[in-house]
Structure 1
Amino acid sequence: MFIRGWAVWTCETRPEYSASTPSSDVVPNGGHILKRIAAFLFFGVAGVALLVFAYIKLFPFTFAPTVDLDETLPSVTLNGYTFHSETMGNPDNPTVIVLHGGPGGDYRNLLPIAPLSDDYHLVFYDQRMTGLSSRQYEGVLDLDSFFDDLDLFVEHYGNGRKIMLLGHSWGAMMASGYASRYPDKVSKIVLIEPGIMRPDLSEPFFEGQSGPGWSAYPRLAWIWLNSWRVDVGEDKYAREDYIISHAFSAMPGEGVHCGNVIPANFEGWRASRKTLDETVIAYVNDPDLLAQLDFISDAHKFAGKTLIIGSTCNTVYGAEYQKRHLPFFQDARLEVIEDAGHFIFYDQPEASLRIVKQFLDE
């Protein structure tokens, strides 16, 4: 007895064979089994590929439209470039310009300081080519371009008066560097956990950096797959920005955040791959460029008050790390936020706002 596709015989029909019998005769229809397996694999892979293709084509979406595509977004155009920007509070009150982290982030995660607008004129902006600011810029981003843009905001909103700066992470580095360059334009600066103020001061910062663990790769693969649904017809940077923006949540928070994870309620609009490539990646891969980073050597030229804030959960560049920056300023003090990580306004919003407001009020 023989059933097609399987080797089943009865005693009456079992064939005689010897060591010299071809294998195809030993296992009847063995070639057909292999062919069926191959066909199954081929059509299975093709089916999955077809489903993925259909998923991408049938469900496209626009990712975080910038001011180029969404005229309802708050914005300001300075020197021919349009920034995503908004102000809060009375313009007659002292002005505080808010500088977000990155490079390549946006100011959404600093909106929790909005209550300060009761007494201060707050100015938020997404830096050039990041967040929801225009992507209509083909030049190279460098340190001078960031300082030049900040100076545009100082001149535009300062109205001849000194302004205050509040910077977080990379934004704190910018605030320190700007106050060093233009000490007569700034009255006070708030520096929340700046990272690399100068390479030789930043060994713990470099040592504390790490890539994603294996557990993050399934999520990163899903992010990459979904990125192909992003419409790039009018925004050529949208797909890469989508990947960078969502990959951030999959990155480790080892030693930086409480519980080693980014706060669950952390919010951001859109990160920038171009900015990341031309700043962080460029400097890390070029020792000569990295050696040029210096946001603190001339800080003594700034005579105004400086508040440096560090957290206790951030053991990489939190409170203990920030102590090394104090001697470079004429009038600086360190405040520590307990039970908070790098994003202090999410972990301890009331305590963080109270400390910042007390300093600004002095």
Structure 2
Amino acid sequence: MKKFAVIVLGVLVAIPLLALVSIYLRPITFAKTVDLDNTLPSITLNGYKFHSETMGDTDKPVIIALHGGPGGDYRNLLPIAPLADEYQLVFYDQRMTGLSSRQFDGVLDLESFFDDLDAFVDRFGASRKVILLGHSWGAMMASGYVGMHPEKIDKIVMIEPGILRPDLSQPFFDSQSGPTWDIYLDLGRIWLNSWRVDIRKDKYAREDYILSHAYSLMPGEGVHCGNVIPEEFEGWRASRRTLDETVIAYVNDTELLKQLDFISDAHKFGGKTLIIGTTCNTIYGSKYQERHLPFYQDARLETIDDSGHFVFYDQPEVSIRIIRDFLSN
């Protein structure tokens, strides 16, 4: 009888242990891109397959949404969807970011990002001017692009751009720091789990998995209300290669950094410019954005109170109203 009880106890202990081991050893399929999931909306431009979708009627004014990063995706810009009642919204994950193709071995630099944006402007503008709406890095792209092609743009909306030119951006540089000691244990767990990521058909999946999960742990000190990223904030997949070949490359090369200039030619753009800043972002929020106004022919700054960098999560209704008012005027 005692032997039977021991056997039963052993079985009861072994079953959950085996279940735990099987779960841990089970491969992780991480955020399939348009290369591996044909159900995702996509468009091919410049010989490259982008994850992209549109909202709104094609006969309405076009807004092209530019997400942050470099290396983020447009998921966190989807809260602007209410604008589709008056505009055609065009979203896309930039080259090698989000759920866009990872089948690209060429050079990934600023020129490639601007070439891709130009292709979207030409495709959806169809000989008419479009509106650019950029958040963070996307706002930097919008500013740089209007200096190159002012004739193709009607208006631009820039939400808290970071580095528009190095000599204007010291407070931004001073604020940058790595992870704090209290999250290293969680980062270790992410790294261990990453070895379960299936990379047989997606060689970038493991690195992107680590970066995507690490971002969720990063503190929002000085940038977000309460120094915390909004709980609702979501992204599909961050791109480690994009981060390495843009941000990290420029930070590690002072001569390369000096070449960053998204604002000196902005005066060529004669249309209206809206810059949005916030009060919770004490680093590159509303006060920081004031220095950018003189570089545009017709620019104004709107401040959103009780909001941090991700305005469409902190103050969605106020943000949409401000943008509507600007565009309708």
Which ranges of structure 1 fall in alignment gaps of 5 or more residues? 1-49
Map 1:340-359 to 2 at 5 A.
340-359=307-326
Show the counterpart of 1:142. Answer: 109
* Higher RCO (Cα < 8 Å, 6 or more apart): 2
Q: Secondary structure at the residue paired with 1:222?
A: helix
Question: What SS does the aligned partner of 1:72 have?
Answer: coil
Q: Rg bigger for which structure?
A: 1
What is the CA distance between 1:252 and its match in structure 2?
1.5
- The alpha-carbon distance between structure 1 residues 218 and 57, as it changes in their structure 2 partners (threshold 3 A), is closer
Which runs of 5 or more structure 2 residues have no equivalent in the other structure?
1-16
State the one-letter code of the partner of 2:297. Answer: Q
Is 2:64 the counterpart of 1:97?
Answer: yes
Aligned partners of 1:91, 1:143: CA distance in 2, in Å? 29
Q: Does 1:236 align with 2:203?
A: yes
Give the aligned residue type for 1:307.
L
Query: Is 1:151 aligned to 2:118, yes or no?
Result: yes
Q: Residues 286-318 of structure 1: CA distance to partner in whole angstroms, max 9, x if unpaired?
A: 001100000000110000000000000000000
Residue 216 of structure 2 aligns to a residue in which SS?
helix
Are 1:210 and 1:252, in contact at CA under 8 Å, matched by a contact in 2? Answer: no
> Retained in 2: the 8 A contact 1:258–1:341?
yes
Task: Trace 1:268-307 onto structure 2 (pairs within 5 A).
Answer: 268-307=235-274
Could you tell me which of 230, 251, 264 is aligned with 1:263? 230
Say if 2:287 is the partner of 1:320: yes
How far residue 360 of structure 1 moved from its aligned partner, in angstroms, is: 1.2
Deviating above 3 A after TM superposition, structure 1's stretches of 4 or more consecutive aligned residues are 53-57
* 1:120-143 deviation per Cα after TM superposition (whole angstroms, max 9, x unaligned): 000000000000000000012111
In the alignment, the residues of structure 2 paired with residue 274 and residue 209 of structure 1 have an alpha-carbon distance, to the nearest angstrom, of 20
The normalised TM-score by structure 1 is: 0.85
Other-structure match for 2:50: 83
Measure how far apart 1:56 and its partner are.
7.7
Residue-by-residue CA offset, 1:29-76 (whole Å, 9 max, x unaligned): xxxxxxxxxxxxxxxxxxxxx99x956873112100000000000000
**Equivalent residue letter for 1:167:** G
Supply the distance in 2 between the matched residues of 1:338 and 1:55 (Cα, whole angstroms): 49
Q: How many residues align?
A: 312
2:287 partner SS: helix
Matched ranges for 1:29-178 at <5 A: 54=21, 58-178=25-145
Distance 2:25 2:142 in 1: 45
SS in 2 for 1:166: strand
Structure 2 partner of 1:309: 276
SS in 2 for 1:267: coil
Structure 1 Cα separation of the partners of residues 240 and 22 of structure 2:
25
Residue of structure 1 equivalent to 2:169: 202
- Cα separation, 2, equivalents of 1:57 and 1:223: 12
CA positional deviation for 1:79: 2.1
- Report the Cα distance in structure 1 between the residues aligned to 2:195 and 2:327, rounded to whole angstroms: 46
Give TM-score, length-normalised by structure 2. 0.93
From the superposition, tell whether residues 55 and 226 of structure 1 become closer, same or farther in structure 2 (CA, over 3 Å).
Answer: farther
Measured in 1, the distance between the counterparts of 2:113 and 2:301 equals 26
Partners of 1:55 and 1:80 lie apart in 2 by 41
User: What is the one-letter code of the residue matched to 1:87?
Assistant: T
Separation in structure 2 between the aligned mates of residue 265 and residue 165 of structure 1, nearest angstrom: 25
Q: How far apart in 1 are the matches of 2:268 and 2:231? A: 40
1:336 — aligned with what? 303
